[in-house]
Chain A
Amino acid sequence: NAGVTQTPKFQVLKTGQSMTLQCAQDMNHEYMSWYRQDPGMGLRLIHYSVGAGITDQGEVPNGYNVSRSTTEDFPLRLLSAAPSQTSVYFCASSPGKSVAFFGQGTRLTVV
């Protein structure tokens, strides 16, 4: 009964490094999405996917890439980390085209 699993839970990167945040769900949900949460700003949508092979940009997509090769996985790639990408990142999935279940988050610091 894992739900939405995000790894890692914490990460420190140096400016310019790249990395992938992992997100996996075991509920066979079609819809998955990535948000970042900054203090006082709520959650902002980075990218989303309505099914395997289909992705689209959200409100703040710059500096991030995604792919959806399987229903279960939706990784988020930071191409060249910047201090402005310091944030808490949440992945979510849903059986319908909604945002129902969130993971525990990945706390990323870029120095």
Chain B
Amino acid sequence: GQQLNQSPQSMFIQEGEDVSMNCTSSSIFNTWLWYKQDPGEGPVLLIALYKAGELTSNGRLTAQFGITRKDSFLNISASIPSDVGIYFCAGPTSGTYKYIFGTGTRLKVLA
């Protein structure tokens, strides 16, 4: 079946640094969603993308819908300690409303 691969799996960064992560699929997606999950909590939707090439920001977060429709990128600028968590991408499998999730990028910020 379709899979979403996230890269990197985990990363340590210094506070104040910019962060980039991506999500790739073997097939075309028409929607990309990005979430953050804190320990012991459910994921929280950060950004939704609906059109190829779309660039959307939410505060220090910026996400892009790849032109090929097979990838998406999330950038965090000037990271702070509360950015720690797991970031997931998600999208609907082709022709359905079944939303599948990537395996996540675990972010750790060193103060």
A101 to chain B minimum Cβ distance, whole angstroms, is: 7
On whether the beta carbons of B103 and A41 are closer than 8 Å, the reply is: yes
- Chain B hits for A4, CB < 8 A: 42
- Chain A hits for B99, CB < 8 A: 33, 45, 48, 98-99
- Chain B hits for A102, CB < 8 A: 42-44
On whether the beta carbons of B42 and A103 are closer than 8 Å, the reply is: yes
B85 within 8 A of A: no
- Count the A-B residue pairs with Cβ separation under 8 angstroms: how many? 57
Q: 8 Å CB contacts to B: which residues of A26-62? A: 31, 33, 35, 40-45, 48, 50, 56, 58-59
B29 within 8 A of A: no
On whether the beta carbons of B88 and A104 are closer than 8 Å, the reply is: no
Partner of B97, one of A35, A40, A48: A48
On whether the beta carbons of A44 and B98 are closer than 8 Å, the reply is: no
B100 within 8 A of A: yes
- Chain B hits for A41, CB < 8 A: 103
B67 within 8 A of A: no
What residues make up the interface of B, taking CB atoms closer than 8 Å to A?
1, 4, 31, 33, 40-45, 48, 88, 90, 92, 97-104
When A and B form their complex, which 3 residue pairs have the shortest distance between CB atoms, in order from nearest? Answer: A102-B42, A43-B101, A42-B103
